[in-house]
Structure 1
Amino acid sequence: MEVSCLWPLIIISILRICRIHALLPIPIVGLEDRTKTSNETKVTCMLPASECQCMEVELKIIAKENLTNCVSHTGNLPNVTCTLDVTKDMREVEVSCEAHFRTKSKPQRLNIQTEPEFTDCPDKVVWIEGEENSFHCKATGHPPPTVTCVKDSMAFMEGETFTAFSNMSGEFYCRATNFDMVSKRVTVSVQYEPRISLIIVQPAASVAEGENLTLICEADAVPPPSYSWHTPTAQLQYEQDNRTIQIKDVKRAHDGFYVCIAQNKHGIQMLKQKIVVNEMEIVPETDLGKVSKPSGAEKTRPEYFGLLAVLTYTSVYYLF
C-alpha cells in the first residue's frame, strides 16, 4: 500500500525534472563541409538560440543499505525499481533518487573528400564483333567518381552497353574523375570471323602450259585463320601457312576453279578463282622454197646452199 502511494510522487517528480531540463538548450556539433584526407578539420560545439530535443536520463536510488534487483525502465516515464530487505533498524534510513541528464547533438557525418581509385578494371578485355559489351571499370572515391573510357573519337561511360566492332581494337584510356582524376590503360581485342578480300594470281589467271603460277589467298580475321583449298588437281605445292599455292610447269590438269577456305573459331568464308590454262601454240616450220634436185644426192646440198646465198645477197643489195 505504501509503495503504491509513492508512485504518483515519483512520477510527478520526474515530470517536473523533465520540464525543467526540456528548457535546456541542446548543443550542436558543427563540421566543415568538405575535408580531405591528411588535412586538418575543425569541429565546433555550439548552443542554438532555441531548440528542444529529448534528453537521456539515468535514475539512481541512493541508500545506505544494500539495494538488490534494481531494474531500470526507459521511455516517456523512465524509472528504476530496486528491492530492499526491511529490518527494524531501518527506521531512520534515508533513501533518495538521483537523476543524471545527458544531452547530445544531432549526429553529423564528416564529408571527407578522397581521390578516385580503380578497384576493378582489367588490363585486357576480349570482345566478339557484333555482340553487346561494356567497360567494367569500378572506382571508389568521394564524391563518387565518374568513369569514362576513351579511344580516338569514341567515349563510353562505365557500364554503358554498345555493339563491338573491329575498329575498337586497340588502347582505351579509362579515366575516373571527381575533384581529381586518375587514368588506366585498357587493351581491347575485338575478334571476328574471316574475311577473304581476294585471291592474288601471278602472273595472271590465264596462263599457257609450261608456265609457273602462284595463287595467294588474302584473308583477315582475329584470331588469325587457318587455310585450306579445293583444287582441280592434287599436283600442287603449298607454302607452310597453306595460304599460298605454287604450280611449276602448268598443265591442262590445272585448269579449273580454285576455292580458298579461311576459318577460325568464329566462322568460315570461301572465295573461288578460275584458272584458264591455254595450250601451247605449235609454230610450223616455214618452207624457204622448193629447189629442183639434180641427179645425185651429192650435188643437191651444195647447189641448194649456193642458191640460198645468191638470194640473200640480192635481198641485202636491194634493201640498201
Structure 2
Amino acid sequence: MEVSFVWSLFFITFLRVFRVHALLPIPIVSLEDKVKINEETKVTCMLPASDCQCLEVELRIITEQKLKNCISHKGNLPNVTCTLEVTEDMHEVEISCEAHFRTKSRPQKLNIQTEPEFTDCPDKLVWIEGQENSFHCKAKGYPPPTVSCVKDSTVYMEGEKFTTFKNMSGDYNCRAVNFDVVSKTITVSVQYEPVISPIIVHPSDSVMEGDNVTLVCEADAVPPATYSWHTPSLQVQYDHDNRTIHIKDVKKAHEGFYICIAQNQHGIQMRKQKITVTEPEIVPEIDISKLSSETGNGAEKMGAAYGGLLALLLYSSFHYLF
C-alpha cells in the first residue's frame, strides 16, 4: 500500500514538473544563406515565445547510499530504477529524485555555396533511331545546378524524355548553371537501319545483246550497310564492297530483276531493278548487180513514157493553130 502511494506521489510530482517545464521555449538555430568556403559565418541561437516539442528529461535518484544497476526508460512515462543494498544503518536515509530537463533546437544544415561541377556526363552517346532517350548529365554544386544540352537552338533538359531521329547526330553544348556556369561538349551518334536509294543503271536499263551494263546500289545507314545481290544470271562481276555489279557482253539470260540487299545490325532493306535485253536488228543483204539492171530498165521505160507525152503535146498544139 505504501509502495503504491509512493509511486503515485512520484508520478503526480513528475507530471506537475513536466507540465511546468513543457512551457519552456525551445531554442532555434539560425544560419546565414550563401555560406562560402574560407569565409566567416554567423550562427545565432534564438529563443522563441513557446515551442516545446524537443524537450528531453533525465531522471536521477539522489542519495548518499550506493546505488547499483540503474536502468532508465524513456517514452511517455520516463523512469529510472536502481538497486540499493539495504543495511541496518539506512534507517531514515533520505532518497530523492531529480528531473533534469534539456531542450534542443531542430537541426539546420549548413549549406556552402559552390560552383557547379559535372560528375557523370559522358563525352559520347550512341542512340538508336525511333527509341526513347534522354541526356543523363549529372552535376554537383550549391545551389543545385540546372543542367541542359543545346543543339541548333533546341534545348533538352537533363532527364527529359524524347524520341530519337537520325538528324539528332552531332555535337551538343551541355551547361550546368547555378550562380556560376560550366559547360562541356557531348558528341551524339544516332544509328539507324539502311534506306536504299534508287539503283543507278549505266548506260540504260534497256540494252542490246553484246553491250555492257553497270548497276550501283547505295544505302544510307549507320553503321554502314553490307551489300548482297540476287541476279537472274551468275555471269556478273562484283566490286570489292558488293555495291556495284558489272555485266559484260550482255546475253538474253541476263534479262530480269536485279535485287540489291542492304543490311546492318538494326535492319534490312531490298530494292529491285529490271534489265531488258533486246536482240540487234538484222539488215538483209542487197544484190548490187541486180539493182543496177533494174535501175537501167526503169530508165528506158521512163524515157519512152516521156517521149509519148511530148508527141501528144505537139499534136494538140498543131490542131489548135489550124
- Greater mean alpha carbon deviation, residues 252-261 or residues 23-32: 252-261
Distance 2:216 2:96 in 1: 108
The 5 Å alignment of 1:127-142 reads 127-142=127-142
Question: 5+ unaligned residues in a row in structure 1: which ranges?
Answer: 292-320
Identity, in percent, stands at 66
Asked whether the equivalents of residues 209 and 280 of structure 1 are also in contact (C-alpha less than 8 Å), the reply is no
Structure 1: how far apart are the matches of 2:208 and 2:264?
Answer: 36
Which residue matches 1:247?
247
> What is aligned with 1:228?
228
Q: Which amino acid aligns with 1:51?
A: S
Distance 1:286 1:213 in 2: 37
Cα distance, 1:287 vs structure 2 = 5.3
- Determine the structure 1 residue equivalent to 2:173: 173
Give the deviation of 1:93 after TM superposition.
3.8
Seen in structure 2, the aligned counterparts of structure 1 residues 42 and 216 have a Cα distance that, compared at 3 Å, is: same
Query: Does 2:13 match 1:30?
Result: no
Work out whether residues 196 and 269 of structure 2, in 8 Å CA contact, stay in contact via their aligned partners in 1: no
- Identify if the C-alpha distance between structure 1 residues 183 and 71 changes in structure 2 by more than 3 Å, giving closer, same or farther: same
2:104 is the alignment partner of 1:68: no
Cα drift, residue 211 of structure 1: 4.2
- 1:240 CA drift (Å): 0.5
For 1:73 and 1:260, locate their aligned partners in 2 and report how far apart those are by CA, in whole Å: 85
Counterpart for residue 190 of structure 2: 190
CA distance in 1, matches of 2:58, 2:257: 101
Amino acid across the alignment from 2:280: E
Q: Helix, strand or coil: the match of 2:217?
A: strand
Residues 112 and 142 of structure 2 are in contact (CA less than 8 Å); yes or no, is this contact kept in structure 1? yes
The alpha-carbon deviation at position 36 of structure 1 amounts to 4.4
Structure 2 equivalent of residue 91 of structure 1: 91
Does the Cα contact within 8 Å between 2:194 and 2:262 map onto a contact in 1?
yes
Question: Is the 8 Å Cα contact of residues 199 and 273 (structure 1) preserved in structure 2?
Answer: no
Structure 1 residues 271 and 145: alpha-carbon distance in aligned structure 2, compared to 1, 3 A threshold: farther
Superposition deviation, residue 11 in structure 1: 4.0
Give the TM-score normalised by structure 1. 0.73
Residue pair 1:208, 1:280 contacting (<8 A) in 2 also:
no
Residue 249 of structure 1 and its aligned partner are, at CA, apart by 3.8
User: Taking structure 1 as reference, are residues 264 and 33 closer, same or farther at Cα in structure 2, changes over 3 Å only?
Assistant: same
Q: Determine if contact 1:255/1:277 at 8 Å carries over to the other structure.
A: no
Shift of 1:143: 4.1
Letter in 1 for 2:273: K
Q: How far apart, in 1, do the equivalents of 2:260 and 2:22 lie? A: 93
CA gap 1:230/1:280 in 2 versus in 1, 3 angstroms: farther
SS at structure 2 position matched to 1:167: helix
- What is the identity, as a one-letter code, of the residue corresponding to 2:222? V
Larger mean CA deviation between 38-47 and 203-212 belongs to 203-212
Counterparts of 1:40 and 1:267, CA distance in 2: 67
Whole-angstrom CA distance in 2 between matches of 1:221 and 1:69: 81
Matched, 1:107 2:107: yes
Q: Residue 188 of structure 1: SS of its match in structure 2?
A: strand
- Contact persistence 1:30–1:45 (CA under 8 A): yes
The C-alpha deviation readout for 1:199-219, integer Å capped at 9, x for no partner, is: 222333344554443222122
Q: Deviations over 1:84-137 (max 9, x none)?
A: 233222236443433333221222233444544444444433333233333333
Residues 280, 232 of structure 1: CA spacing in aligned structure 2 closer, same or farther, 3 A cutoff?
Answer: farther
- Residue 160 of structure 1, CA deviation: 3.1
- Deviation for aligned residue 1:31: 0.9
Q: Distance in 2 between matches of 1:81 and 1:132?
A: 65
Q: TM-score, normalised by structure 2?
A: 0.72
Aligned residue number for residue 279 of structure 1: 280
Q: Deviation digits for residues 18-71 of structure 1, max 9, x if unmatched?
A: 4554454432211123434565432111223x2241532222223222122433
Could you tell me whether the CA contact under 8 Å between 1:194 and 1:269 is conserved in 2? Answer: no
The 8 Å contact of residues 259 and 270 in structure 2, kept in 1 or not, is answered as no
1:260 match: 260
How many residues align? The count is 290
Q: Distance between the aligned counterparts of 1:36 and 1:244, measured in 2?
A: 67
